[in-house]
Amino acid sequence: MASTAASLRLPSPPLSAPAAAASFSSATTLRFPLRRRGAARPLAVAAFKKLSEASPVPIPPESAQPPLDEEALPPKPGVYGVYDAAGELQFVGISRNVRASVEGHRRKVPADLCASVKVSVADEETPDRAVLTNAWKSWMEEHIESTGKAPPGNVAGNNTWVGAPQRPPDLRLTPGRHVQLTVPLEQLIDRLVKENKVVAFIKGSRSAPQCGFSQRVVGILEAHGVDFVTVDVLDEEHNHGLRETLKTYSNWPTFPQLFVGGELVGGCDIISSMAEKGELSALFQK
């Protein structure tokens, strides 16, 4: 069986690979043996049958800048395994583009779940899917035999490979500007803050605040894990006149405004100070 080899350069400096992988210094070159079958079957390709034969590649954490080096992962089709920072295999998959697939997973999971990756590449640009599938099965069987279980991301119903939870939509005080209100807007505000334990009146939506102070308050509330609703004071279509009416209702001139239990707590500065002192958590627990 003839063999060839493909090389790739790792970014400098690389992260530490899992314990099972060798340590790499900066400017390390990985070589991927690309095995060909006999000349009588020139179009056939082969991927590594064993996980232990594949080559480990360190992956920078999400916070690292710049992002993953363009040449750090092969763009060719192959089988890949993603490891966490502790060296535990989290996922084994097949991709027509290993580089794009790993980057896609890194956007969906915490950075420490992409500490490194092992890749097995085929020596054809468009290999037979069955070849890669058989290699994937071999990797899975090898891992199950050694650990007694499949990698977390390959278990049905596992939530390792899902995106961030969807944020609830912002509340609207009216169906629209064209609708004639049957009760004063101030009464709608009063009902809203009393029917919901935690209400944040912010500039912009919860998913896209339109000012730094509103973004800060939303971040603090989410960090505390509290259930809260938001109202966009800039939404003139569904909250027409809210900004001026709310200033009168709360006797507070700026935004955001946070209400807890129907009572005004304050704006960004007060919320930030209370969070730093631990007073906000105590307030939510009442």
pLDDT at 228: 94
CB atoms within 10 A of CB 158: 14
Per residue, the 3-state secondary structure of the chain, as one string, reads: CCEEEEEEECCCCCCCCCCCCCCCCCCCEEEEEEEECCCCCCCCECCCCCHHHCEEEECCCCCCCCCCCCCCCCCCCEEEEEECCCCCEEEEEEECCHHHHHHHHHHHCCHHHHCEEEEEECCCCCCCHHHHHHHHHHHHHHHHHHHCCCCHHHCCCCCCCCCCCCCCCCECCCCCCCCCCCCCHHHHHHHHHHHCCEEEEECECCCCECCHHHHHHHHHHHHCCCCCEEEECCCCCCCCCHHHHHHHHHCCCCCCEEEECCEEEECHHHHHHHHHHCHHHHHHHC
What global pTM score does this model have?
0.47
Q: Is 70 exceeded by the pLDDT of residue 11?
A: no
Edge-to-edge order in the sheet of strand 198-202: 229-232, 198-202, 257-260, 263-266
pLDDT value of position 25: 32
* Banded pLDDT at 259 (limits 50, 70, 90): very high
Measured between alpha carbons, how far is 32 from 29 in angstroms, rounded to an integer?
Answer: 10
Q: How far is CA 155 from CA 90, 158, 228, in A?
A: 10, 6, 33
Average pLDDT over residues 162-175: 76
pLDDT greater at residue 90 or residue 209: 209
Mean pLDDT of all residues in 245-262: 96
Is pLDDT of 35 > 90? no
Full set of structural domains in the chain with CATH: 54-145 (3.40.1440), 183-283 (3.40.30.10)
Residues 115 and 18 sit within 8 Å (Cβ to Cβ): yes
Sign of CA dihedral 270, 276, 279, 285: positive
b/e 97-132 (16+ beta carbons within 10 angstroms → b): ebbebbeebbeebeeebbbbbbbbbbbbeebeeebb
pLDDT digits (tens, 9 = 90+) for 131-163: 788 888 888 888 888 888 888 777 776 655 545
Q: Assign 178 a pLDDT band (cuts: 50, 70, 90).
A: confident
Per-residue model confidence (pLDDT) at position 113? 58
